[in-house]
Chain A
Amino acid sequence: MVRIVVPSVLASEAEGKQSFDVEAETLGDALRALPVADLLFNERGELRHHVNVYVDGEDHRERGGLVSPLEDAHEVRIVAMVSGG
């Protein structure tokens, strides 16, 4: 079981819920189980460009991306990329 923490914009799209406890083998499976999955992925199933995902504080890209197994991970945190001026 991993806890996924989402930012406020996504929480407001999920009836105010800010975290979700998900049972999944891979990070991608866990994200796709969220009720806001359609906001994280485009219609090709690609993670949107400005979405960052950290697994226990580590950028998911550094640990094998969406196919990486969650194993003993405790927390997945979704963070919108900093952009703009």
Chain B
Amino acid sequence: MGVLALIGTRKGLFVLRAADGRDRWQIEGPLLDTWGVYHAVVDERDGTWYAAANHTTYGPTVQRSSDGGQRWRRSRQIGLREESGLVLNATWHIEPGLPEDPETLYLGGDPGVLFRSHDRGESWQVNRAILDHPTRADVWIPGAGGLCCHSIQIDPRDPGRIYVGITSAGTFRSDDAGETWVPRNKNIVADFRPDPYAEVGQCPHKLLLHCTQPDRLWQQNHCGVYRSDDRADSWLRLDGNGLPSPFGWALMLDPDDPDTAFVIPARSMEYHYGPGGRLAVYRTTDAGATWESVSNGLPDQSWTVVLREASAFDDESVYFGTQSGSFFVLADGDTWLEAARHLPTILSVEVTSWSA
């Protein structure tokens, strides 16, 4: 089975396709030209494409296509109620619901907001419990990336159990389909705050649940790499032991192995490029106890980074795109293949199976 990659960039959406070998890629695009595509995904339940699209002049929206990207329709009802005192700054991440909820999708946005659609993306209702969370007013302080709700993970065993990751706010879990949310940041450091182990105020950069072991979650945080084996009730810090930096955004998993994960470290919050000016991927196969570089095929010197939505994985491989417009796929023999270059700044990568 081949693979289709949706690559969101600052200047639209690019579509890359490859046959089973993943060694030759065809590029189409840009679709949604001039829109910044923060995230795009294929809803595997019905094949609809969704894009969190943001325009510098015309604002944030969600675009969707039911014909493989040829025609797009934008959501008409999306935004925050005036009494909130907030306006929607950006749409960040679209998460299709579980197969048993075929009409339902979730949308994360800035300023730290979550929406749910019950009509396949035509209209979106804001989650009031996140919007009115009692910790928002005093503790949620936007950083350089704003307050973006970038990660939405649903327990495949229970559609009522949902996790969200919000920058400068933390990880939150709901066990009642979003009626209430509890912070789940125990043991996660926020060294940029007066109390580095406060209940709220951490800065997850990417949060992922393992599909076959859903009690296990991973996160690349502003301050380290973490794993939880108890539904985010507590977290174990995993950086060190081979990782050159605790800082980064990208996170990839192996659907077949809950102990395997990939990260792409950046030097620090001040220096947004890899340690030593090198683009390097690190992999653990022992649940984070040790890390090794998997960087054959990547440039020796590269002053770029991989952003929080710009990496993906499937049963066959892992993929990422850089701020400098290169798209890489891990080919046979643990060597990276540069499948595309000179694209606009890559904001997001998602993959799905595809056949010619």
List which A30-77 residues lie within 8 A (CB) of chain B. 36, 38-40, 42-44, 48, 50-51
- Return the contact of B57 from the options A38, A43, A44, A81 (Cβ within 8 A): A81
The answer on a CB contact under 8 Å between A50 and B87 is no
The answer on a CB contact under 8 Å between A50 and B56 is yes
Q: A42-B87, A44-B87 are in contact. Are A50 and B80 (CB under 8 A)?
A: no
Residue count of chain B within 8 Å CB distance of chain A: 17
Q: Quick one: closest B residue to A46, CB to CB?
A: B87
For A21, list chain B residues within 8 Å (CB): none
The answer on a CB contact under 8 Å between A83 and B59 is no
Q: A9-B34, A13-B74, A44-B82 are in contact. Are A39 and B58 (CB under 8 A)?
A: yes
Provide the bound-state CA to CA distance between A64 and B177, in Å: 48
Chain A-chain B contacts (Cβ-Cβ < 8 Å), number: 42
**Chain B 273-295 near chain A by CB (<8 Å), digits 1 or 0:** 00000000000000000000000
Main secondary structure of the interface of B (DSSP, over half): loop
The answer on a CB contact under 8 Å between B59 and A42 is yes
Q: How large is the interface on A (under 10, 10 to 19, 20 to 34, 35 or more residues)?
A: 10 to 19
For B80, list chain A residues within 8 Å (CB): 43
- Return the contact of B61 from the options A39, A80, A83, A84 (Cβ within 8 A): A39
Q: Quick one: closest B residue to A52, CB to CB?
A: B57
Query: Is B88 positioned at the interface, with any CB of A under 8 Å from its CB?
Result: yes
Provide the bound-state CA to CA distance between A12 and B32, in Å: 9
Query: Is B79 positioned at the interface, with any CB of A under 8 Å from its CB?
Result: yes
Q: Which of A12, A43, A50, A80 counts the most B-chain CB atoms under 10 A from its CB?
A: A43
The answer on a CB contact under 8 Å between B55 and A39 is yes
Query: Is A2 positioned at the interface, with any CB of B under 8 Å from its CB?
Result: no
Query: Is A10 positioned at the interface, with any CB of B under 8 Å from its CB?
Result: yes
Query: Is B76 positioned at the interface, with any CB of A under 8 Å from its CB?
Result: yes
Provide the bound-state CA to CA distance between A9 and B55, in Å: 10
The answer on a CB contact under 8 Å between B58 and A48 is yes
Give A15 Cβ to nearest chain B Cβ, in Å: 9
Give A13 Cβ to nearest chain B Cβ, in Å: 7
Jot down 20 A-B pairs with beta carbons below 8 A, ordered by A.
A9-B34, A10-B58, A36-B58, A38-B74, A38-B76, A39-B58, A39-B61, A42-B79, A42-B88, A43-B78, A43-B81, A43-B82, A43-B87, A44-B82, A48-B57, A48-B59, A50-B57, A51-B58, A80-B58, A83-B56
Chain A residues with CB under 8 Å of chain B are 9-10, 12-13, 36, 38-40, 42-44, 48, 50-51, 80-81, 83-84
